[in-house]
Amino acid sequence: METVIEMPTRGALRKGPVAEGMARIKSNDIVTGDYRLMVLDAPPEMLDCRAGQFFHILCPTGESFRPYLRRPMSIYCFDPAAGELKFLYKVTGEGTGALSELRDGAEVNLLGPLGNGFTIREDWKNLLLVARGVGLATLAPLAKEAREAGCTLTAICSARTEALLMSIAEFEAMGAEVIPVTDDAGTSGVEALREVIEGRIAEGGLDAMYTCGSNRILTLLQDIGARHAIPGEIALEQQMACGLGMCHCCVRSFRREGGIVHERVCREGPVFDLQEAMGW
């Protein structure tokens, strides 16, 4: 049984109510290294989502792991027609460790979709996505929305090694030009990325840039965006307790209106204006 919670909106970004209930695991398999893809059979109330939103997941407790709080997890894919919800995650601690032990047929309690997602303005036709590691999970649904909006999309996918590159096929299936870069090939450094992005701007221009999670990529895109007057958005990652905006655990600082303001990543975000976000 699902509980539906009506949440106030920020502008017109949030879609639909928030649901709390159980979803059945269809698969929870290793993708590469410590990364897993969890596919859930989810009720319709949980599938009215936007790219960039997240769910707060109640992790199970057992002999190996005893997580206390829920864990926020970005939506990797949502498919209302198939009734599926997917999460790509890295096993790093108690919560994700507990999730990694769940097998097919098990049920997990979800709260969501939460937060405000990405926006694509009607006059934005040439888009750039830049992300690294599990940050690609957050941007994957944005590629689908870009395709539906008729946008041209370039996705720069970064990882330590070629074996850890993920979501390449998913981005290509959405019609994106994919540029893989890695540490071991020497192509993922800031100056190497700058050269690639500046080349795209020189060739035909960019209307907007999107990223997730990485401080050095944020700083790079802020610099390029400011010099070329290109807007953008970033999905921020932050520890959360409630996920609803009540506990103020996830407050971050932002530049706005000539000063510094403080907002909750779970409630006002997790997606924010690229130039307003502050490094960490």
Query: Per-residue pLDDT for the chain (280 aa), expressed as one digit of tens each?
Result: 444 434 444 443 455 678 899 999 999 999 888 889 999 999 999 999 999 999 999 998 877 888 889 999 999 999 999 999 999 999 999 999 999 999 999 999 999 999 999 999 999 999 999 988 778 888 999 999 999 999 999 999 998 988 888 888 888 988 899 999 999 999 999 999 999 999 999 988 899 999 997 899 999 999 999 999 999 999 998 999 999 999 999 999 999 988 999 999 999 999 999 999 998 7
Q: For 3-114, which CATH class? A: mainly beta
**96 appears as a binding residue in the annotation:** yes
**59 appears as a binding residue in the annotation:** no
Fold that domain 236-280 belongs to in CATH? Dihydroorotate dehydrogenase B (pyrk subunit); domain 3 (2.10.240)
**73 appears as a binding residue in the annotation:** yes
**71 appears as a binding residue in the annotation:** yes
23: left (phi over 0), alpha (psi -120 to 50) or beta: beta
**250 appears as a binding residue in the annotation:** yes
**72 appears as a binding residue in the annotation:** yes
The terminus-to-terminus CA distance of the chain in angstroms comes to 40
Which residue type is seen at 38?
Answer: M
**247 appears as a binding residue in the annotation:** yes
Residues sharing a CB contact under 8 Å with residue 91, sequence separation 6 or more, in sequence order: 34, 35, 36, 97, 99, 100
Decide if 182 contacts 162 (C-beta within 8 A): yes
- Indicate the SS3 state at residue 242: coil
Fold that domain 126-234 belongs to in CATH? Rossmann fold (3.40.50)
Q: Whole-model pTM above 0.75? A: yes
Per domain, the residue ranges of the chain are 3-114, 126-234, 236-280
- Indicate the SS3 state at residue 6: coil
Decide if 107 contacts 83 (C-beta within 8 A): no
Alpha-carbon 81 to chain mean position: 21
Decide if 244 contacts 220 (C-beta within 8 A): no
